[in-house]
Amino acid sequence: MLEAISLTKRYEDGELALDGLTFKVEPGEIFCMFGANGAGKTTTINLFLNFIPPTSGTALIEGVDVAKDPLKAKRHVSFVSENVMLYGNFTAVQNLDYFSRLAGKRNLTKKDYGAVLEQVGLQKEAFDRRVKNFSKGMRQKLGIAIAVVKDAANVLLDEPTSGLDPQSGREFLEILVQMRDKGKSVFMSTHDIFRAKLIADRIGFMRKGRLVMMKTAKELAHEDLTDLYIQYMEEQPGQPAPTAAPSA
């Protein structure tokens, strides 16, 4: 389970990137977070991964305070970033092997890696090809494979569908659904409202570091997500960003 409690981040230049963010992602749930660039989505992920310390508040992964015990917390989380280049001189299998070992998975065989790469939709002939020759979509699939291999209880995804073609996007959504079905808590920051609507159990909208709206899939069933997106993303002059009530 992922949980943010009044998470606040003010950078050294005084910019308030996160302002009392509170939410929870339950096991077996996909939570999609929307927001314009600079709204605080990536900052939230960075705080969960302890890349930056919070100014106040707490980020919990499986109940472990990330700021207090980051290594223990990170054991329970996989991460897929927006545009990972990986090691260009390594093959897909070599990249997968290295990151699996870092994740503590040391007994996996080439066959196991092959199965995961196949699962994320990477063509067989690409398994032993150098990653520097991969397209952005292929690299993204490999990034997802790295997260799949770690098999952590929580998954953080930072705009993972950017650059994916429709076929790859669909395969990617299938993987996320499989993860949810396995009981994992999935937090995804994205701009991709169409794909998010297909799989999200809950959706949140962020503006100026605040969670301004949160709705469940049921609540969204009869709503036009595009209109909602525009409505919540548009800044209203002179009006502070509202705060959504935390809901599970």
Partner 1 sequence: MLRDIIKKEILDNITSPKFVFTFLLCTILILLSIYTGVTNYRAEKKEYTAALALNKKNMESQPNYQSLAGIGIKISKPPQVLGTVVTGIEEAVGRVAPVNIAADPNLIDSKYSSNPVFAVFGSLDLMFIVKIVLSLFAILFTYDAIVGEKEKGTLKLALSNDVPRDRLILGKAIGGYISLLLPLLIPLVLGLLILLITPDISLSGQDWARLLLIFLLFFLYLSVFFSLGLFVSARTSRSSTSFLVLLFVWVVFVMVIPKVAVITAGQIRPIPSVHEITAKKDAFLQQIQSEGQKGVIEWSKKNAADAQKDVKAYQEKFRKFIQDYQQELTSKIDENNAALERDYQQKKRAQQSLAVNLSRISPASALTFGSMTLARTGIDDFDRFLASVRAYKPIYTKWINSKLGQSINFQTGETIQIKIDDMPQHIYEPQWLSQSLVRTIPDFALLAVMIIVFFVGAYVSFLRYDVR
Q: Which residues bind partner 1 (CB under 8 A)?
A: 42, 46, 49, 51-52, 70-72, 74-75, 77-79, 81, 83-90, 94, 98-99, 101-104, 143, 146, 150, 156
For the chain, the C-alpha Rg in angstroms (whole number) is 18
Q: How far is the CB of 99 from partner 1 (least distance, A)?
A: 6
Q: How far is the CB of 142 from partner 1 (least distance, A)?
A: 11
CB-nearer residue toward partner 1: 79 or 229: 79
**Alpha helix positions (H), the chain:** 41-48, 70-74, 92-102, 110-119, 136-150, 166-181, 193-199, 217-220, 225-233
Q: Report the 10 Å Cβ neighbour count for 223.
A: 12
Give 157's strand partners: 80, 188
Q: How far is the CB of 200 from partner 1 (least distance, A)?
A: 22
CA nearest neighbour of 94 among 115, 77, 113: 113
CB-nearer residue toward partner 1: 147 or 244: 147
* Separation between Cα atoms, residue 137 and residue 172, nearest integer Å: 10
Q: How far is the CB of 57 from partner 1 (least distance, A)?
A: 19
CB-nearer residue toward partner 1: 164 or 241: 164
CB-nearer residue toward partner 1: 36 or 64: 64
Residue type (1 letter), 151:
D
